[in-house]
A and B are shown apart, each in its own frame.
Chain A
């Protein structure tokens, strides 16, 4: 919202001496931060941020009024000649509750017509150009100066009575912007006997607009329900200065005043002659009083504020206040439509007192703090672990393109249930079924940027289509691409291998089968559900498990096996034999080296199996260990393995 310094001063002479910087700080303290200060044609213009609830401040006078309330300063009187209400020259029928009051007047335009230079200048400060059509320029000026939108129809284009009514389904109206609009029963319209001629509070119609040739104008100054205007504006995608103000709530009392001002300007600027003025309906009655309890105010403010002080501040805002023993009752002024509950009043009291006077106190602890959820700790811990072993956490957008989705989603997860109806673009339209799609793109980008080794992971939700809608679950995806090593004199450069990534996932505590995916050349990825990770251990120290202090015996067996021999089968068979033979003395078994060479028999490879034994209560003898090793060897031989000579 734009505020011209000169116009603001005119409404509130008390701030004449205030510097622009002081004014900006004052506005910010009232809840209107200033986004910019500009000088236009020698006039200082402030761009002020106004929150959606404060329709009353969307004008020079409205803003002046709020500043005046803070400074306890009087506004200038509106220079205004009250018109005598006469008999309607056009009947006006109000058929909808959403328009309780409709003031109008008819004037015959004179021959001389020009918009005064100071008004042209003011409009320019407001970012608007004078049209040199008094009815249009005056209406525009009133809107910015006093905040009340008005409209002028060419009276000679109207056919019969004016009706404010709900639209008829299928009815059409060409608005001033030249767009043909189809109306609904939720649109509030101004109509004549023939057709709708304006979208109430949003925009006038093209067929009744004032033109250079207009002889008689009919003025409209009314009040429309903010909710109705907001919905219409939204439905038609039509946002005007008028709908912006009506939609946030203007002062209904201003309906008549604005009409009088508009008529007076036409008389003064264009030599117009008033033919008649009349008002249909009535300004809605003042809202019921709001009770503000001393106790509530003290709770919200954090300190006792006497009701007399609160009442004085509310009166500065224009409220009519009656003080009782433990509470006050306040009737809001007609322009403050946003005040509805006692918390609103408390806020106003604090606002005028200054938010800087609020104390700073830590609230007492009423109940015992709750623990951090194990799922939260699990996600946090897994991220830390991966960061420590060299992986970078990524954050990527949750939506992907349908093409990428098709490459990754399973047949049991159709995209339809995960697709947005109003995406930013096709490439951001499907909620991802896997994090790997995004990680692949990110890894490729890093490789293109010259990274030799890319180690990434992401923890985030993935989506699945269900009958009830998209369902999310937390997943962890890890991608490793490129080559590793080669950066120091001890570590050889080599391509990343599947075992590298598997080791990382096993390190996280994942048991069972792990499905690695080859995402591209030299790029490996894996995604697991976060629920597959071991739960966060909440014990301070785990349960003690005794360990043997007798020496460990280690034996290596080099076995020749088929190239096609599945490792797991061999390990399972040998471990079974060892458990049977050695019982609790069997500690571990694993392959520690793989040797493939043309010197070996064709189709065979050598696996170096390392066996470890330890007694709980004694030092093992070489003979008994030999026996167990033989048992393991025999189990291996059962699968076609032979001892390498």
Chain B
């Protein structure tokens, strides 16, 4: 194309055009460039049209072709650059509002049910399908409920002030030393209706108090879960069947139980119940001291005196009762080395050991 037909400043501008387009970094500068070259007024294009108007007739045809070609070239280049810049702008805008999905998201912070409560809740869930409900009693008890009603003799050492906390201003009021007084309360309450109810079966989880110094295995306050069933013709085989079911439900199908004779004033016969070590499965480990068994419960058939005290005829009704130390079981299962951790309530411990249900 013959640029010599055009005024020299336009030819010169055209020489710069490609560079200027490339140098336009944003739409604003591109629009300014567009105005300079192809704008309606005072642009190189409008000036070329003026030149064309005044050009000699014989040049008009050739000049017109040159001007058209230039205008087309400019418009094409500007349009392409505009598309490029618009795309770049869009992509920058989209980056600004987009987020790397791998950035750590805000997580809901969870808390925890205390591990001791969790174990007690779990026990309730285990016994619920067997028809047990939950009974609760106060922590402040009378000697009658805590001792007398449980066939504990008047001179039993557990009644002494070295073992049991008594209130100073109220003689005979004490902090219960076990959850067994709930047995007394429930039996007395249901005694008039026992025929209609067809006996009773319940769990009584709760806090109890004994005068033990605080150390890695003792606490003056701890938890027990008491269980009791009263019905017709209840024997040791029923106790074994029930605890065998419960321990399997709690620890898994390998959790056999073993009964050893023992003595508690409120049961006869009485036994200690061992469960096959839930940690080693019976092959012997540190927790079961190599024996394959861990002691987990005290139990037995309800002593006739306990039924009589509550006004229930022991020649008609019989039953069993059992009691589990919650802390000891929790420590055994979790291998927590120090009982005090359960009462210190460090959030790190609670979150690690507790759970949401």
Q: Within 8 Å of chain B (Cβ to Cβ): is A644?
A: no
Query: Across the interface, which residues of B come within 8 angstroms of A544, CB to CB?
Result: none
Question: B1-9, B12-20, B52-60, B231-239: which lies at the A interface?
Answer: B231-239
For the complex formed, measure the closest distance between the CB of B195 and the CB atoms of chain A, giving whole angstroms.
10
Q: Within 8 Å of chain B (Cβ to Cβ): is A143?
A: no
Q: Within 8 Å of chain B (Cβ to Cβ): is A282?
A: no
> A-B pairs with CB below 8 Å: how many?
262
Instruction: Report B103-119 residues with CB < 8 Å from chain A CB.
Output: 103-114, 116-117
Tell me whether A420 and B167 are in contact (CB under 8 A): yes
For the complex formed, measure the closest distance between the CB of A495 and the CB atoms of chain B, giving whole angstroms.
16
Q: Within 8 Å of chain B (Cβ to Cβ): is A455?
A: yes
Tell me whether A428 and B244 are in contact (CB under 8 A): no
- Give Cα distance in the complex from A346 to B271, angstroms: 13
Q: Within 8 Å of chain A (Cβ to Cβ): is B354?
A: yes
Tell me whether B153 and A227 are in contact (CB under 8 A): yes
Which of B262, B342, B356 meets A384, CB within 8 Å?
B356
Question: B70-78, B87-95, B206-214: which lies at the A interface?
Answer: B206-214
Tell me whether A395 and B116 are in contact (CB under 8 A): yes
Query: Across the interface, which residues of B come within 8 angstroms of A343, CB to CB?
Result: 268-269, 301, 303-304
Per-residue CB contact flags for chain A residues 275-301 toward chain B (1 = under 8 Å, else 0) read 000000000000000000000001111
Tell me whether A366 and B198 are in contact (CB under 8 A): yes
Tell me whether B238 and A361 are in contact (CB under 8 A): yes
What count of chain A residues pass the 8 Å CB interface test? 96
Check A359/B345 contact, CB under 8 A, given A230-B155, A393-B112, A469-B167: no
Query: Across the interface, which residues of B come within 8 angstroms of A231, CB to CB?
Result: 155
Per-residue CB contact flags for chain A residues 354-396 toward chain B (1 = under 8 Å, else 0) read 0110111111111111111101100010011011111111111
Instruction: Report A402-455 residues with CB < 8 Å from chain B CB.
Output: 416-424, 428, 431, 442, 445-446, 449, 451, 453-455
Query: Across the interface, which residues of B come within 8 angstroms of A302, CB to CB?
Result: 235-238, 240
Tell me whether B133 and A371 are in contact (CB under 8 A): yes
Query: Across the interface, which residues of A come within 8 angstroms of B106, CB to CB?
Result: 487-488, 490-491
Most interface-central of A52, A347, A364, A431 (chain B CB within 10 A): A347
Residue of A nearest to B109 (CB): A390
Check A359/B344 contact, CB under 8 A, given A346-B269, A372-B133, A491-B106: no
Q: Within 8 Å of chain B (Cβ to Cβ): is A51?
A: yes
Query: Across the interface, which residues of A come within 8 angstroms of B117, CB to CB?
Result: 383, 393, 395
Q: Within 8 Å of chain B (Cβ to Cβ): is A88?
A: no
> 8 tightest CB-CB pairs across the interface, nearest first?
A367-B198, A302-B237, A31-B261, A347-B269, A369-B131, A421-B168, A51-B263, A366-B198
Point out residues on B near A: beta carbons under 8 Å.
103-114, 116-117, 121, 124, 128, 130-136, 138-140, 153, 155, 157, 160-162, 165-170, 173, 175, 196-202, 207, 209, 211, 213-214, 219-221, 223, 229, 231-238, 240-242, 244-245, 258-263, 268-272, 301, 303-304, 318, 342-348, 350-351, 354-357
Point out residues on A near B: beta carbons under 8 Å.
28-31, 33, 51-54, 227, 230-231, 234, 298-303, 341, 343-344, 346-347, 350-351, 355-356, 358-373, 375-376, 380, 383-384, 386-399, 416-424, 428, 431, 442, 445-446, 449, 451, 453-456, 460-461, 463, 468-472, 487-491
Between-chain CB contacts (< 8 Å), 6 pairs:
A31-B261, A360-B244, A371-B133, A398-B175, A424-B211, A469-B169
Given A234-B160, A390-B109; 18 other pairs, CB 8 A cutoff: A33-B260, A299-B234, A302-B236, A343-B304, A362-B242, A362-B245, A364-B231, A366-B231, A368-B131, A370-B202, A388-B111, A388-B356, A416-B169, A417-B167, A446-B347, A468-B170, A470-B170, A471-B140
